[in-house]
Chains A and B, each alone.
Chain A
Amino acid sequence: MSVHDFWTPFALEPFLNALIVGLSIASIWLVAALGLTIIYGTMGVINMAHGEFIMLGAYSTYVLQSYLGFPFLLCLPAAFFIVAGFGWVIEKVLIRHLYQRPLDTLLATWGVSLVLIQGVRLVFGGEPQYVGVPTWLDSAMQIGFINLAWLRVFIIVVSGLMVLLTWWILFRTVTGVRIRAVMQNKEMAASFGINANQVYSITFAYGAGVAGVAGALFGAFKSLFPDMGSGYIVEAFLVVVVGGGQLIGSVFSAGLMGEMGSVFSYFTNDTFARFVLFTLIVVFLRFRPQGLISEAMTRR
């Protein structure tokens, strides 16, 4: 293997295509990380079962579509409510009891993810399942030299809409005010009559629901496996951590990471790009542990 094979020389059109692919990757990471951002940003909970929430969203879509004949577009909101309901229950029976022990939440949710993977494998088997998409999503968009599957365009659009929706909820509704109050100071929020436990339940359910939507989307362009979620979890966490647990931070970090990953893999290859990207992120966090965007630090 010579250096020449390893290193792809620069050419304008493929490079521009790589940037557009980067945008698509970024939107996928953003969708995967959005629910995690809300949960981590508000509650400080590291939910290791997030990937499995995505997986549940994908399998919900599969079941609704194959057994109940739901159209794909209707599956998106349906997956949201199914997984949100599931998240609500998990929060009530497990997470709630571990708020004082953040590292333990991380571990307990890892246990949840193992149970979910194996549970789904028992019910649906280990072989891949498929979600069908409408024909208009099944082709590729072709503008000049730019070539992108419509499904990827659709994901970019949906991820944008979901960010807007989340932003609207957080900054334009009463529930959002409550969530942000609890986020900044739980005790003080409580003294103003805000029920922090209720806020946590809602937040966790919403974050889970968003993961469900992500699963419905991912199911459309990848086959479904019980352990498909573990493929998203590391990237999703990095998006959240680099973004500082803020909504806008996650948008930036997903964009940056997606583009950088795509450009690196254009010049080298996918796995080497992943290695370089992850190493860069670790170095970045060394110098800015609070991430790209951070709230003013509070001190005792």
Chain B
Amino acid sequence: MESQNIYHNKTAQWLSYLVVFVGLAFLPTFIDPFTLNQFSRYAVLAMLAVSVSLVWGFGGILSLGQGIAFGLAAYGMGMTMQMQFQDPESNPIPSFMLTNELSELPGLWVPFWNTEVGLLLALAVPTVFFVIFGALMFQARVAGAFVAIMTLAMLAAWYSMAYDMQPFTAGFNGISPPLPFDWLGVSFDPYSPITYWVALGLLAFVVLASKLVLQSKFGLIIQAIRDDAERVRFVGYNVAFYQVVIFAMSGFIAAIAGITWVMLTQYVSPVLLEVQFSIAMVIWAAVGGRLSLMGAMIGAFLVNGMQSYVGDAFQSTWLLIIGGLFILVVRFLPKGIAGLIETGLGYVPIGRRRSDSMSSNPARAAE
């Protein structure tokens, strides 16, 4: 008997995505610019949670290094925006470099004079890094907790680089481009609806593309690898290749998030490469439901929304709350909020609730 739960109905799933994204698109009508900027940020963090859900929930690869792609892309975007502010004639070098005794723009920065090249690099460098890093790990059949440790170590290594290469990255202070991102004749003011729609649009793209990929045969094979990687090899698939692809996809998504983040905050610093931040992404995905893209998204909105609103009142106990919540979720709700919804919808007879056009079938409804 095929599943009777509407939660597993693909049409219902796509419909719910449609409802959520259309609903979110009307948000600027109701809320003030500051809150709107908050929501834009949640959308970016939701992309990160989705990238974790994809690679960990579905791919079985617990990556604690999503911050690498996020951070590298953020630096690329920060550099691009900084160079938009600089002028080749009158003001060719960012001021922090001058205080670090650099007399000319380092070669690393030169390509970022061009906005398109800068954006391309911000997306391509993290993705290529994930391809190489992933190939290194997965060809050696590194799996499980070892992946977690290796990604963690790599993240820590990048963190110290960003922190230490002060003349190039402004170290701990970070880069804060003075002007909003300006591209294709549009100035993306962080507090404007258009910027919010860009962030939301990118989130929608990320979620829907991931959803499509997961519904393809590739998605099935990836989940089979999560269940039993060795068995998949004997079916005739190159497991490492598949793992590299899903890992790089998640890195690419994190890179998109990184770019958008800097557009919203006009600031990039090594904090983005901190271990705590990358693990927080895993927490959002776990709380929302690692096995559901929508769940991961909701987890990111919920936890971060709570942090901004509840967190202000309970500043000193916030970590206690989130840590405790996380322990409880892992211990008792491995499928997160999405798992709760799945169980809840299991009690709803299919064919009655969603639409009138679907004539109710008594035999099925009785199930």
Contact = CB atoms under 8 A, between A and B. Distances in A.
A238 interface: yes
B324 A115 contact: yes
A107 B324 contact: no
B334 A278 contact: no
Given A110-B279, A234-B152, A271-B163, A101 B334 contact: yes
Nearest to B286: A107
Given A286-B136, A286-B139, A289-B140, A241 B146 contact: yes
Contacts of B140: 285-287, 289
B317 A237 contact: no
Contacts of A113: 323
Contacts of B279: 110
Main secondary structure of the interface of A (DSSP, over half): helix
B319 A107 contact: no
Contacts of B286: 107
A256 interface: no
Pick from B100, B322, B327 the residue with the most CB of A within 10 Å.
Answer: B327
A234 B323 contact: no
A238 B153 contact: yes
Nearest to B101: A1
Interface stretch (A118-126, A134-142, A180-188): A118-126
Interface in B136-177: 136-137, 139-142, 144-146, 148-150, 152-154, 156-158, 160-161, 163-164, 167
Contacts of A270: 164
A275 B157 CA distance: 4
Contacts of A115: 319-320, 323-324, 327
A279 interface: yes
Contact of B326 (A107, A274, A282, A289): A107
Contacts of A263: none
A100 B281 CA distance: 23
Contacts, number: 127
Interface residues of A, number: 43
B146 A289 contact: yes
Contacts of A230: 275-276
Query: Which size class do B's interface residues fall under?
Result: 35 or more
B136 A118 contact: no
B154 A278 contact: yes
A94 interface: yes
Main secondary structure of the interface of B (DSSP, over half): helix
Nearest to B147: A103
B250 to A, nearest CB: 16
Contacts of B99: none
B316 interface: yes
B36 interface: no
Interface in B264-291: 275-276, 279, 282-283, 286
A271 B160 contact: yes
B152 A237 contact: yes
A119 B160 CA distance: 28
Nearest to B139: A286
Contacts of A98: 330-331
Interface in A86-137: 94, 97-98, 101-104, 106-108, 110-115, 117-119, 121-122
A269 interface: yes
Nearest to A108: B330
A110 B145 CA distance: 13
A6 to B, nearest CB: 11
A110 B146 contact: no
A121 to B, nearest CB: 7
B290 to A, nearest CB: 10
Contact of A118 (B149, B282, B320, B334): B320
A122 B153 contact: no
Contact of B141 (A1, A46, A269, A289): A289
A50 to B, nearest CB: 12
Interface string B108-144: 0000000000000000000000000100110111101
B83 interface: no
Nearest to B141: A289
A157 B356 CA distance: 77
A282 B316 contact: no
B244 interface: no
B331 A121 contact: no
Pick from B141, B167, B320, B324 the residue with the most CB of A within 10 Å.
Answer: B320
Contact of A286 (B101, B137, B149, B156): B137
B152 A283 contact: no
A287 B148 CA distance: 17
A150 B283 CA distance: 43
A279 B151 CA distance: 11
B62 interface: yes
Pick from A107, A112, A241 the residue with the most CB of B within 10 Å.
Answer: A107
A272 interface: yes
Interface in B322-356: 322-327, 330-331, 334
A19 interface: no
Interface in B52-109: 62, 100-102
Contacts of B164: 269-272
A271 B140 CA distance: 28
B334 A104 contact: yes
9 contacts: A1-B102, A103-B62, A110-B279, A115-B323, A118-B323, A272-B164, A274-B156, A282-B137, A286-B139
Interface of A: 1, 46, 94, 97-98, 101-104, 106-108, 110-115, 117-119, 121-122, 230, 234, 237-238, 241, 269-272, 274-275, 278-279, 281-283, 285-287, 289
The 3 closest A-B pairs by CB, nearest first: A114-B323, A271-B164, A118-B319
